[in-house]
Amino acid sequence: MSGFRSSGGEATWADLGQFMIKHCGAEPGPNTTRTSFTFEDEEIVAVDELLPTIRYDGSLYACGDVGGIKPEAVNGASVLQLGLNIPEVSSAIRGAFFPDRPCGAAYLTRPAGLSSEIPSGPFGLVFFLRQSLRFGEDRPAEERLSFHSYRITQSTEPPRALSGSESARLLRRLVEATRIKEPQSTGLESLLVTAEVDLASELRRPAEEDLVARVRHVVWPVAAIVVV
């Protein structure tokens, strides 16, 4: 996304906009216009494209890539570029993922339309952010950020790593799920605790090429979910 150093990966502008509306108090806004230029019949032609906006903290943000061109004002109100690097947005997202009190896993009802690859019955999910640092002569520099997700079942099989596309499809479905306020024990709780410890340790362990390149990893647990 524009202005953010790391790749958005599987996340789309719609994902970010919906997250801000659902969890951060934003509201859908009016469409704005993005102007781009293309060649047509050997001439440069201006093409107008509608972009949705969200209204957050008194400002309108274009929910899409404006290509460095300022979006058209709406009813005299300026439209800013939405992005993870905007302090108001990053602060809202940080607040959603770093609560001010201890909390455990989120319990959700199983939403309709899950992939047939996901077996019936309860399953757990754990998510991590891995920050890779390269150590030089002066101070460490960030090499890359990567997102890791795993599915855990009550079987004897080890946690299954999910690809980026698998994780994105699953999370979009879970957005539609209902939260269970007073969950019953599923038998997955101890498995999730053990898996989180073991997987974090595994993700921190540098590979041989990391050791040679003086790269080390810091692992941040992001979330744990139980789907029943």
Report the pLDDT value the prediction gives residue 7, as an integer from 0 to 100.
56
At residue 219, the pLDDT reads 97
The model's pLDDT over 62-102, given as tens digits with 9 standing for 90+, comes to: 998 887 778 888 888 899 989 888 888 888 888 877 777 77
Q: What percent of the chain has pLDDT over 70?
A: 95
pLDDT at 45 over 70: yes
Strands 106-108 and 79-81: unpaired
pLDDT over threshold 90, residue 150? yes
Across residues 157-182, what is the average pLDDT?
A: 91
Domains of the chain, residue spans: 13-97, 106-227
Where on the phi/psi map is residue 76: left (φ > 0), alpha (ψ -120 to 50), or beta? left
Instruction: Decide: 124 and 224 in contact? Cβ < 8 Å.
Output: yes
pLDDT at residue 8 in the model: 62
Using alpha carbons only, what angle is made at residue 15 by residues 10 and 20, rounded to the nearest 5 degrees? 140
